[in-house]
Amino acid sequence: MLEVSNLNVFYGKSQALRDVSLKVNEREIVALVGTNGAGKTTLLNTISGLLHPASGSVEFLGQRIESLAAHRIVKLGVCQIPEGRKLFSDMTVGENLEMGAYSSAAGKSKEETLEQIYQVFPVLKERRRQSAKNLSGGERQMVAIGRGLMSNPKLCMFDEPSYGLAPRLFSDVIEVIKRLREQGITIFLVEQNVRQTLKTADRAYVLENGQIVLEGKGEDLLQNEQVKTAYLGM
């Protein structure tokens, strides 16, 4: 579904990604783990069209997208759930969710999609007229996920969904991610919570200093000595 090949991305003269290559197959949960500053968000922003690479390619469903504008990539079926949620705080829950359905195709099925999201997150239906700034951290994460799903994505990319959440709430988010995969949505999960993420992922990549240094099945990487030392404190 997604293929990134030899991607190089710069901020001015500073190189953030070096020859990054990875694949995400349909209906997989693929994880990207690494420390702060490794380049994880830069990679997501490049796939989403918020950044453009100096070289390399990004293909989605066989189409080159690395030079496309972000709104066109959303229309193709890619959504990104940003780190920190980035909700419109002065808007209601319902208004925030509807912002995810701005494309013409998503707008046609907006009401149906909204009901599906309320089935996944019943509390959001109860809070739909409440201002987003008054929500708890867990509720804000639900809104961010729901807003992304309003675009009817084929590929959903999560950027640090554990940000600001208690461990129990992150476990709830992981269960939602598994449920989305069961519904046919492919997941690319970027996380610092390495242990739980690798347990969840079918496959995973480890990014260090802008380069992919390890890849493999999630459970296999949990047993990798380099991963144990660098990320699991073992």
Give the per-residue pLDDT at 107.
56
More confident residue, 136 or 155: 155
Q: Is residue 82 part of a domain?
A: no
CATH number at residue 163: 3.40.50.300
CA–CA distance, 197 with 152 (Å, rounded to integer) = 24
- Which of 109, 132, 152 terminates a domain? The answer is 152
Is the same domain home to 6 and 119? no
Is the same domain home to 222 and 165? yes
CA–CA distance, 15 with 56 (Å, rounded to integer) = 14
Is the same domain home to 62 and 101? no
What is the token pair recorded at 118? 């309320």
User: Which stretch of DSSP H or E encloses residue 181?
Assistant: helix 167-182
- pLDDT mean over 73-94: 87
CA–CA distance, 163 with 153 (Å, rounded to integer) = 22
How many domains does the structure of the chain reveal?
Answer: 2
Is the same domain home to 12 and 107? no
Q: What is the DSSP letter of 63?
A: E
Q: Is residue 125 part of a domain?
A: yes
What is the tens place of the pLDDT at every residue in 97-131? 988 887 656 556 788 888 888 888 888 999 999 99
Give the per-residue pLDDT at 26.
96
Q: Which residue has the tokens 């991963």?
A: 227
Give the per-residue pLDDT at 103.
64
CA–CA distance, 216 with 86 (Å, rounded to integer) = 32
Domain region containing 12: 2-77+154-231
Is the same domain home to 94 and 183? no
What is the tens place of the pLDDT at every residue in 9-29? 999 999 999 999 999 999 999
What is the token pair recorded at 132? 């987003």
Is the same domain home to 10 and 125? no
More confident residue, 31 or 145: 31
Q: Which of 111-115, 185-189, 215-219 has the lowest mean pLDDT?
A: 111-115
Which conformational region is residue 143 in: left (phi greater than 0), alpha (psi within -120 to 50 degrees), or beta?
alpha
What is the token pair recorded at 80? 């990104």
CA–CA distance, 83 with 104 (Å, rounded to integer) = 26
